[in-house]
Structure 1
């Protein structure tokens, strides 16, 4: 190994969860080291447009309450949320926002001087706060990044974590990584937090940036942790459609546009959401995405339209990011409808963890999109994700401090690290296969076909480059997602089985849980995690 470094807490990822954890850990006196495989601002957080859903006791809609936010979240989650997790995370939201504002984040204000609030799909009240109109994620990332730099917290940019290292007891004790020149090194730490974001690059069209290659899922599985609910991939109903079909990272048309009055229409001008759901265009995302795909198929088109002309000239100031993307594509959303399609957006499942970030492996923690805390269930409620990162990121830092103080973590340095070799699949083939067979509509025949394609295409290669690491992460996560999707023989939330169109609460009101066995094969746990409304 050509280099090494150490800390009390190693954080992999520089999104909202990772940087929040870094700041809180530093406040608690821990030595912190943050690792980013690209620049510190390259993750998903910067792209989040809609806002942060939060009920603040001093500023809220008449009749709104924390209880209503909890109920809206449970409804969107379609029976797979953990009520205690939902309650605990949402209850900490107001304090998390206060901490974020203290760190320098600025939010849009209304005429009364209070934080401006909007409403998004699945919400029963105006409780989503935002910044820069539709640039909330960018503002959150800016504020946290500046606070981390100002606090002197070291960030290793363009360093890729290859494998987690474990001691004789199985506890995590650090990580094998490589720098921008692919030189290997060891990072020593008794606690490792995975805050690596999502898995959007499994698909040909996604709202996620290029760094979202499911690294955290693969690292956790290979370290012995369990993952859950990977079949629940949320497809955002409205990304900007361009001729030739969406491919790669597509500009997001935030759900808040519909919250301000925009409606979905098909190529003949007929309303898409009429009769589909009581909330019509503000229905949960799984309902809207399915309705869009259905109407597009019925009309023979590859897209529908989002008609936001009723918003008028105010669209430019309220949604500057969306307006700029439309202008670049030659569309004036003030005067004409926006062509939209769905694309892979958010992973509702992930590494099984508590609301304090603890996983099933000692020394390993997870927070943000990579984690499965029980907040999102089978379908994430709009704008709950940034809040989860803020709350669970901070709680994880506190959990690490407690676990270190109690002597629960392994402070011994890892032994010799060996460069691993893992199965990889050509990325273009993988993305085309996943998009064809594992999109919004799935069936067993297609899922089995996708499994065979990826099995035949897999080649074991040493992980000596960042691309090899990413491709191995995508390959393992794709197989785990396929296994979960095949097992869940029902339709629920954002998992739609055309061969099992009904929801089966008797058999499937539980999370699907996977881990790797001693031979490296994916296996299902016997019972999964039962979910109840209690």
Structure 2
């Protein structure tokens, strides 16, 4: 190995969950090392526009409550949320926001001096706080990055984790990584927190940044952990559409625009959401995305319009990021409707973990989008994600400290480390295949064709570059997602089967859980699948 480093806790990822965990772990006296494929300022959190959903006892809508936030979350999750997990995570929201503000985050305030609140799809009250209008993620990332720098926490920027290392008993012992020049190195740690974000790069069009290549899911699977509910990929209803169709990372048109009164209309000027759901344009995202795709197909178009002209001249001040993206595309959202389409946005499933971040592998923890805590179920409620990262990130750090103190984690060094060789597929082929067959509308025929195409195109290569590491992660996660989507023979939340259009509570009100067997094959397991709203 070219280089080596060590810590009590290795945090993989610099989004809200990873940075929060690093800061809390440092407060608890742990030696922390953070690894980032990009810079410390460029976590997935940066791209989050809408805000943070939280009920704060001192500032809330009349009639709103934590219990109502819980019920809204359970409703959006369509029977697959864990009620205890939902209650516990949401209950930690107010304290998490107080800590974040203490770290320097500045949120927008109203004329009364209280934090400004908006409403987004699926919420029954105005409880989403925001910063910079539509730049909440960027402000959260700035505050956390400044706190990490100020706290002297070391961050290995432009470094990629290749594989997790395990001791003879199977527990975590660190990670194999590579630097910007692809030189391999060993990071020794008895605890690793995966906070790698999402898997949007599985698809041709996504709101996710280029680093969102499902690394955490693949690393966890290869380390022996279980993953759950990967079939539930939330497609954001409204990304900016440009001629030639959406591809790559697309500008997001935050749901808060609809929260402020914008409505969806088709190319003929007819309302898209009228009669589709009692909340109409503020319906849960799975409902809105499906309606947009259906109306676009009916009208022979690839997009619909988001008419925000009713918001008026204040649009640019309230939504500066959206306004800038529209103007760059030659659109004036104050005077004309915005062409929009759906794109892969958020993974509701991931590495199975508790609300304290613990997984089925000793020494391995997960927090944020990469984790499946039971909060999101079959469809994430808008703006619950940043809150989950703040709450579970801090709790995971506390769990690591407790597990270290109790002597539960492995401090024995591992022997020789050899870079692995794994199957990869051409990325454009993978993204095109997944978009065509594993997007919003799915069927056994299409999912089987996608599985066959990826299996047939796979080539085993040594993981000597970051691109190879990412391609291996994308393929393994795609295979797991396809397996889960084929197994769930119903439509629920953001998993829509054209051949099974109904929701089947009798058979499928449970999670789909997979792991790798000793030979490296994906197998379905019934262990730990009691994810219900009970």
Partner residue in 2 for 1:447 = 447
Where does residue 18 of structure 1 map in the other structure?
18
1:108–1:129 contact (8 Å) kept in structure 2: yes
Structure 1 residue 530 displacement after superposition = 2.5
Over aligned residues, Cα RMSD in angstroms?
Answer: 0.6
Count residues with an aligned counterpart.
534
Equivalent in the alignment of 1:42: 42
TM-score by length of 1: 1.00
Cα distance in structure 1, aligned partners of 2:526 and 2:346? 27
Alignment of 1:471-482 (within 5 A): 471-482=471-482
Report the counterpart of residue 195 of structure 2 in structure 1: 195
Distance in 1 (alpha carbons) for counterparts of 2:131 and 2:414: 43
Say yes or no: does 1:504 pair with 2:504: yes
Q: CA deviation digits over 1:80-139, x for unaligned, max 9?
A: 000000000000000000000000000000000000000000000000000000000000
State the match for 2:53 in structure 1: 53
CA contact (8 A) 1:42 1:211 kept: no
Task: Tell me, yes or no, if the aligned pair for 1:512 and 1:528 is still in contact at 8 Å.
Answer: no
- 1:416 is displaced (CA, Å) by 1.1
Contact 2:217–2:370, Cα closer than 8 Å, also in 1? yes
Q: Which residue of 1 aligns with 2:207?
A: 207
Hey, what's the Cα distance between the residues in 1 that align with 2:97 and 2:233? 27
Task: Give deviations 1:236-265, integer Å, cap 9, x for gaps.
Answer: 000000011000000000000000000000
Aligned to 2:64: 64
Q: Which residue of 2 aligns with 1:154?
A: 154
Structure 1 partner of 2:107: 107
Alignment of 1:335-354 (within 5 A): 335-354=335-354
TM-score after normalising by structure 2:
1.00
Q: Residue 416 in 1 paired to residue 404 in 2? A: no
Q: Which residue in the other structure is 1:428 paired with?
A: 428
- For the residues of structure 2 that align with 1:363 and 1:345, how far apart are their CA atoms? 29
Indicate whether 1:7 and 2:10 are aligned.
Answer: no
For the 8 Å contact 1:306–1:340, the answer to whether it is kept is: yes
Write out per-residue CA displacement over residues 255-290 of structure 1, whole angstroms, 9 at most, x where no aligned residue: 000000000000000000000000000000000000
Cα distance between partner residues in 2 of 1:316 and 1:397: 39
Moved over 3 A (4+): none
SS at match of 2:186: strand
Deviations 1:39-74 (A, max 9, x none): 122232000000000000000000000000000000
Equivalent pair of 2:50/2:255 in contact (CA under 8 Å): yes
Aligned-pair CA distance for 1:415: 1.5
Q: Distance in 2 between matches of 1:125 and 1:102?
A: 26
Within 2, Cα distance between the matches of 1:36 and 1:424? 22
SS in structure 2 at match of 1:49: coil
- Does structure 2 conserve the Cα–Cα contact (< 8 Å) formed by 1:43 and 1:212? no
Matched residue SS, 2:274: coil
- After TM superposition, list the pairs within 5 Å mapping 1:331-370 onto structure 2: 331-370=331-370
Q: Within 1, Cα distance between the matches of 2:198 and 2:531?
A: 23
**SS class of match (1:340):** strand
**Kept in 2: contact 1:426–1:471 (CA 8 A):** yes
Residues 164-204 of structure 1: per-residue CA shift (max 9 Å, x gap):
00001100010000001111100000000000000000000
2:304 corresponding residue in structure 1:
304
What do residues 392-419 of structure 1 show as CA deviations (whole Å, max 9, x unaligned)?
Answer: 0000000000000000000112221111
- 2:489 alignment counterpart: 489
Contact 2:378 2:495 in 1 (8 A): yes
Partner of 2:372: 372
Is the CA contact 1:42–1:209 (under 8 Å) kept in the aligned structure 2? no
| Superposition deviation, residue 528 in structure 1 | 5.7
- Tell me, in whole angstroms, the C-alpha distance in 1 between the residues paired with 2:355 and 2:9: 18
SS at match of 2:365: strand
Distance in 2 (CA, whole Å) between partners of 1:37 and 1:129 is: 29
Distance in 1, Cα, partners of 2:80 & 2:430 = 28
How many Å apart are 1:526 and its aligned residue?
A: 3.2
Moved more, 70-79 or 40-49: 40-49
Whole-Å separation in 2 of the counterparts to 1:443 and 1:41: 40
Alignment partner, residue 239 of structure 2:
239
* Unmatched tracts of structure 1, length 5 or more: none
Q: What is the distance in 1 between the residues matched to 2:456 and 2:40? A: 36
CA deviation map 1:421-469 (0-9, x unaligned): 0000000000000000000000000000000000000000000000000
Q: In structure 2, how many angstroms separate the alpha carbons of the residues matched to 1:494 and 1:478?
A: 16
Instruction: Give the equivalent residue in structure 2 for 1:93.
Output: 93
Secondary structure at 1:192 match in 2: strand
Q: Distance in 1 between matches of 2:465 and 2:362?
A: 28
CA-CA distance at 1:533 after TM superposition: 2.7
Residue 43 of structure 2 contacts residue 141 of structure 2 at CA under 8 Å; is this kept in 1?
A: no
Q: How does 1:246-261 map to 2 (within 5 A)?
A: 246-261=246-261
How many angstroms apart in 1 are the aligned matches of 2:231 and 2:178? 31
Say which SS state the counterpart of residue 530 (structure 1) adopts: coil
CA distance in 2, matches of 1:155, 1:528: 34
Q: CA separation in 2, counterparts of 1:528 and 1:264?
A: 40
Matching of residue 167 in structure 1 with residue 161 in structure 2: no
Structure 2 residue 220 is the aligned partner of structure 1 residue 220: yes
Q: Distance in 2 between matches of 1:44 and 1:27?
A: 24
Corresponding residue number in structure 2 for 1:80: 80
In structure 2, stretches of 5+ residues that fail to align are none
Contact 2:240 2:338 (8 Å CA) reproduced: yes
Partner deviation per Cα, 1:4-61 (whole Å, 9 max, x = no partner): 0000000000000000000000000000000001112223200000000000000000
Aligned twin of 1:323: 323
Distance 2:24 2:530 in 1: 32
Q: CA deviation at 1:527?
A: 5.8
State the distance in 1 between where 2:529 and 2:276 align: 31
In 1, Cα distance between equivalents of 2:439 and 2:20: 32
Counterpart for residue 29 of structure 1: 29
